[in-house]
Amino acid sequence: MAPPLLRFLLLRLKHASFAELSYRMRQKARSARIRSARPYAPARHDSPVSLSGLAVPVMEPEVSLARVEAVLAGERYTLNTGARTLDRWQAALAGTRGGMRGDADLRVVWEPARLQHLTVLFAYLARKPRESADRVREFARNELLGWLDANPFPQGPNYRSAMECALRIPVFFYALKLLPDLQPAESARIVAALHAHAEWIEANLSLYSSLGNHTVCEAAGLVFAGGVFRDHDRGRRWLVRGIGLLGQELVRQVLPDGGALEQSLFYHRFVLDVYWLTAGFLEGSGLRDCGDWRRRLRFGEEFLSGFALPGAGYPSIGDADDGCAVAPGLSPLREPPFPHDAACRVFPDAGYTVVGTASGGRITFDHGPLGMPPLYNHGHADALSITLSVRGVELLVDPGTYRYNGAPGWRRYFKGTSAHNTVTVDGLDQAVQQTGFIWSSPYACRLLAREEGPAGCRVEAEHDGYLRLKEPLSHRRTLAVHGDWAVVTDRFHGSGEHEFDLHLHLHPSAVVSREGGDWYVSRGGSRISLSLLGGDDFELLQGGEGGHLGWYSPRYGVKLSSAVLRCRRKGSCAAVSFQTVIGWGAPPDRLP
């Protein structure tokens, strides 16, 4: 088998068109020229930037003095990774341009280099320029200049991603705008860094098969840089290019029903925030009216509002790396979602149904595609999976992401079908994982039926991920909700004998008990019952008892042992089905 990096490159090549190959060759040549050239340095007569009229976007909520003090005392954002491990990974990746090193996770190394701890300080200074200002400004100045000293362009891992460069450009702009005591030479260094970052982004835009959330970030970086350099041809070019890409990707990545083409709730939140931040900069600076963006963005907000949990979180559907468009705990000024009052909300373009009940139960049902073609990078093989929360307390969960790099076995598990509340056939995923970010044999889902009534609804869908098997089959799931009860029915159509595993993943802090023929899951004052009709029963498994099954990742880089209920059956498609009864209230007169 080819080494991982070579295999990844060969797979990327397989998905590339002739136009993309041509673009990649030009991209490499231009990047090489930038690496060998002297960095941009503004001359005395150049008057390279004009900050007059440029606005720092509004960020929410207001930053407290306590949070400022935490940053001044050394708080950094490291994705739950200790300083010693982070230092070791940085050393392992220093000087490399491609590939991984051992267990090093490049995504973690990038997080502190986004400099978003400085964004917290700048958000504070933008609202309270006189309170503790001198100390805060001096700290921000020293931190930023120190980072530039330690990371000369374009050396080291922090310049391997144009997206990471793009996320730093607003920080450079905030520094130029909010640190009036910078010496001319210091301002020139920051301007030069901003220019170098923008030039690097322009040369390395994520286009063709790489289009995705990276593209949106890179375009936003060009917009901020273009605003700073708007009096020069290169700046105007960046501005036009960035705005054009953002307009293109908005209607592609944010679907007509507001859902995400990328099939990740986390990345949808991230992408929408990049748009809100950029719109705030453009409109506040008088550079563009973004009214044509706002309607689509509000549909995106409406979509996310259907999944929202207390504390501004979402179920861990699809990949999540816990990154932020602005900074942890800070967001750009957003417009509210369009109002809605439907108990059963179907998003046909994204492929989700969200059912809410009067007692606070909420079920999500995934009948959408694998992810964003052609690579499906951040999608999980979770077709027909469900989650359930009661009064905001998660009980049946999507186990999350854990890590992107340095732990391929765990990456494979958390993206795979067995890690989701659906049915696995013959121990196989619904699609084929080629690498941690490339899928092949993507499945398609179809919404077959939707019925709504005063007390509930019924939704039926199927996927074709197992048609690739030697003895092919399709999986059809019906979700029927009536009051505080739901019945989930799984049927299969196809040939041959197979092994069918139904999994239900439980939150790690849930307490599981058995009473009579039912299973009970309790957490945070909420309780659900689970049972199988037809004489079947679940077995209770726990993470850590062999294999990867039974793990939950609440945050990037963190995994916790959790319980899983599994029912395994072997037989023909005609002979095997599952009927799962879930209750979170008083017994009904009849099952839905």
Has residue 43 got a pLDDT over 80?
A: no
Tell me the average pLDDT across 280-304: 98
**CATH code linked to domain 54-77+114-332:** 1.50.10.100
551 vs 547 pLDDT, higher one: 551
Inter-residue contact 156 to 95 (CB < 8 Å): yes
For residue 128, what are the contacts with CB-CB under 8 A and spacing of at least 6?
none
For residue 513, what are the contacts with CB-CB under 8 A and spacing of at least 6?
519, 520, 522
Has residue 310 got a pLDDT over 90?
A: no
Has residue 257 got a pLDDT over 90?
A: yes
Q: Which CATH class is domain 344-583?
A: mainly beta
For residue 470, what are the contacts with CB-CB under 8 A and spacing of at least 6?
496
List, as one string, the DSSP characters of 65-119. Answer: HHHHHHHHTT----TT--HHHHHHHHHHHTT-SSS--TT--HHHHHHHHT-HHHH
Tell me the average pLDDT across 61-68: 95
Tell me the average pLDDT across 250-262: 98
> pLDDT per residue over 446-475, tens digit each?
999 999 988 789 999 999 999 999 999 999
Instruction: Look up residue 402 and give its two tokens.
Output: 């854990």
> pLDDT per residue over 379-431, tens digit each?
999 999 999 999 999 999 999 999 999 999 999 999 999 999 999 999 999 99
Has residue 108 got a pLDDT over 80?
A: yes
Inter-residue contact 103 to 313 (CB < 8 Å): no
Q: Which helix (H) or strand (E) holds 376?
A: none
Q: Distance between CA 405 and CA 99 in Å, rounded?
A: 10
Q: What angle do CA 213, 215, 218 make, to 5 degrees?
A: 110
> pLDDT per residue over 524-541, tens digit each?
999 999 999 998 999 999
Residue 40: the pLDDT is 63
Q: For the chain, which residues make up each domain, given as ranges?
A: 1-38, 54-77+114-332, 344-583
